[in-house]
Amino acid sequence: MKAKSLSKVSIGKNLVKLEKLTKFSTVSAKELKNAGLASPKDFKAGVITDKGGSPKYFIFDTYSLWDMLCAFDAKFEENAPAKEYVYRNPVGWLIDAIETHLPVNPKLALKLKKGIDEARKLGLVPFEKIKHELGLS
């Protein structure tokens, strides 16, 4: 799947105001926290409205969007059958697409390297080598 670039947002004369997301939400700060979202003081999201006050665009900082997507994904995983979670999960697909563009955490990279070194010392054989030797690759 090839990622598409985001559409440019043309903020014309009709879009005039940036409001806090909470103005349009009936969800309390406690419910946000219980849903696994960032604490409300760190949850940075907004709504761009038109002159009539109707929401037109929703904007999020990176971490707030990430928290929201992960909370949706976790809730879907709790409620959906395993097959549906794997094959019919657009939020999970979006998370995967975003992750392909994020840099690897240096601490994770170091931990993986140590794990590989330890496996070599223990004489563990990689799956790829086993598949190749069995003629399965």
pLDDT tens across 33-54, in order?
Answer: 676 665 556 777 888 888 888 8
Tell me the longest C-alpha to C-alpha distance in the chain.
68
For residue 112, is pLDDT > 50? yes
Q: Look up residue 66 and give its two tokens.
A: 């990430």
The rounded distance, in Å, linking the Cα atoms of 129 and 137 is: 9
Between the ranges 8-17, 22-31, 89-98, where is the mean pLDDT highest? Answer: 89-98
Q: Look up residue 110 and give its two tokens.
A: 């170091």
| Residue indicated by tokens 């406690």 | 30
Q: Look up residue 126 and give its two tokens.
A: 């990689």
Q: What is the mean pLDDT of the chain?
A: 80
Bridge partners (DSSP) listed for residue 48:
18, 57
Distance of CA 107 to the CA centre of its chain: 20
Question: Domain limits of the chain?
Answer: 15-102, 104-137
- Is residue 109 very low, low, confident or very high in pLDDT (cuts 50, 70, 90)? very high
